[in-house]
Amino acid sequence: GENVEQHPSTLSVQEGDSAVIKCTYSDSASNYFPWYKQELGKRPQLIIDIRSNVGEKKDQRIAVTLNKTAKHFSLHITETQPEDSAVYFCAAQKGLNTGTASKLTFGTGTRLQVTL
């Protein structure tokens, strides 16, 4: 089955700096890669996603890049703010939009701390 690795496990940045979180996946058939932000005691919230036919996607301060050949994808947060502090999870899935999608496989999470 799919295996997703995520690094780093913790990341501390100063407000205004950029943060980068990296994930690798094992199943070349995976074609959907979402990123979730989870605050303490809350549900995971989708912040951005990318599909395998795209190499990069950006939404304001958040961007995701995908390298299918190397089977890795990264989350980039620019101009970090204290409210960005949370745990971030990457995930991988195959078969989305086909009606026979596989389960989401999550990374181990990155605890991001944005300090003043």
Q: Give the residues lining the site for other proteins (CB under 8 A).
A: 34, 41-46, 89, 96-97, 99, 101, 103-104, 106-109, 111
- Residue 22: φ, ψ to 5°: -120, 145
CB of 22 to other proteins, least distance (A): 16
Amino acid at 103: K
Shortest spacing between CB 107 and other proteins, in angstroms: 7
Question: Least separation, in Å, of the C-beta of 115 and other proteins?
Answer: 19
Residue 79 zone, left/alpha/beta (φ > 0; ψ -120 to 50; rest): left
- Give me 103's structure tokens: 């389960």
Choice between 45 and 115, CB closer to other proteins: 45
